[in-house]
Chain A
């Protein structure tokens, strides 16, 4: 899966990042918060079979950082 495909998949499931690009700071998204973090954890689990922690997601500054968690 290319990083563009990963981004589209993430955006199709999580409204708060729907308009974001790879370099958009997560903190600048109006709806980014604890719910988005839960949605990201489930998204990674279901779509990428990847278990990530809340701390890993919180440490990400941008959408690109999030996608970089996927090996």
Chain B
């Protein structure tokens, strides 16, 4: 789907990460892996450090902290929020939805509806699209979009392919209706035929509970039915097949060539994927940062706001930037966006609890 929306702005961004630092090489050495292969993988993929949530901390806690800090930074009262959207696949409960729990915790207005979107790495873009729709057509003047996950809880420590990738984080984004006319462009899509490429089989209505027998794949990675299981090669093939086209389509929709783009902000899957995609769409790798991945890990739906603050925070505070971006992953789904962002308010990336 192609969509262009006018008279809306991204007004503020904040990200809160988990508080526990993990180091890829130190963890690998402790697991009995030799240093040389660890360093080769670290170099190619950009695996360095990540931040995971402390025991008992959920995506709701991380998003609530990001929201509180952002509202304070912007000088806004929580009651000025007209709607709240929560993007997560690691909600506190099966019911009620996280957005309602956040609504109660922050004391939002009773006239503010709550929406949850169950999406992962592409979810911030889907949520941003919904937030801008509510502002452009739905009677809202200010929408809070929270996006975050604690995927590190779902991977198996014996899965050396997936476990070292994920960090935990929650983001808060404020979208506002404005008189400004520069549009935001979106290209969204999905390929549900690849839905099993990233899956947590147990824990939903189809398979609520059951035995957790360990399965070892051809490469020696161990998982069970309640773990996040990822077929990395299939996800990567999907990414190469669909994402360059989505990024090119959104640039065409915005009437913007790669040379006019100030920054390409991609889901921080890993450094190798970010640089491969940048190359394929003809944007210099220097404009496509993956430092958020190297410092915090793959943060699912919080990774794009984290990359925006990490790589561009000061510039976004100061002046408008032409930004193209794309989220992609579980579903398999994707969302590309293009537009002018800034000046806007950012809160620093901080851990919780501090």
A38–B232 CB distance below 8 A: yes
A6-23 vs B, Cβ < 8 Å mask (1 yes, 0 no): 000000000100000000
Is there a chain B Cβ closer than 8 Å to A42's Cβ?
yes
Q: Which residues of chain A (44-71) have a CB below 8 Å from chain B? A: 45, 51-55, 57-58
Q: Which of B39-47, B130-138, B207-215, B300-308 contacts A (4 or more CB under 8 A)?
A: B39-47
B161–A51 CB distance below 8 A: no
B237–A41 CB distance below 8 A: yes
B161–A54 CB distance below 8 A: no
A54–B232 CB distance below 8 A: yes
A38–B37 CB distance below 8 A: no
CB distance from B218 to the nearest CB of A (A): 7
Question: With A and B bound together, what is the CA distance between A50 and B44 in angstroms?
Answer: 22
Is there a chain A Cβ closer than 8 Å to B118's Cβ?
no
A interface majority secondary structure:
helix
B276–A35 CB distance below 8 A: no
CB distance from A12 to the nearest CB of B (A): 15
A34's contact among B37, B219, B237, by CB below 8 Å, is which?
B219
Task: Enumerate chain B residues within 8 angstroms of A57, measured Cβ to Cβ.
Answer: 233
Task: Enumerate chain A residues within 8 angstroms of B37, measured Cβ to Cβ.
Answer: 30-31
Task: Enumerate chain A residues within 8 angstroms of B241, measured Cβ to Cβ.
Answer: 51
Task: Enumerate chain B residues within 8 angstroms of A15, measured Cβ to Cβ.
Answer: 40
Task: Enumerate chain A residues within 8 angstroms of B218, measured Cβ to Cβ.
Answer: 58
B232–A37 CB distance below 8 A: yes
B240–A34 CB distance below 8 A: no
B45–A41 CB distance below 8 A: no
Question: With A and B bound together, what is the CA distance between A37 and B241 in angstroms?
Answer: 16
Task: Enumerate chain A residues within 8 angstroms of B236, measured Cβ to Cβ.
Answer: 38, 41, 54
B151-177 vs A, Cβ < 8 Å mask (1 yes, 0 no): 000000000010000000000000000
The 7 closest A-B pairs by CB, nearest first: A54-B233, A34-B161, A37-B233, A34-B232, A54-B234, A38-B236, A33-B219
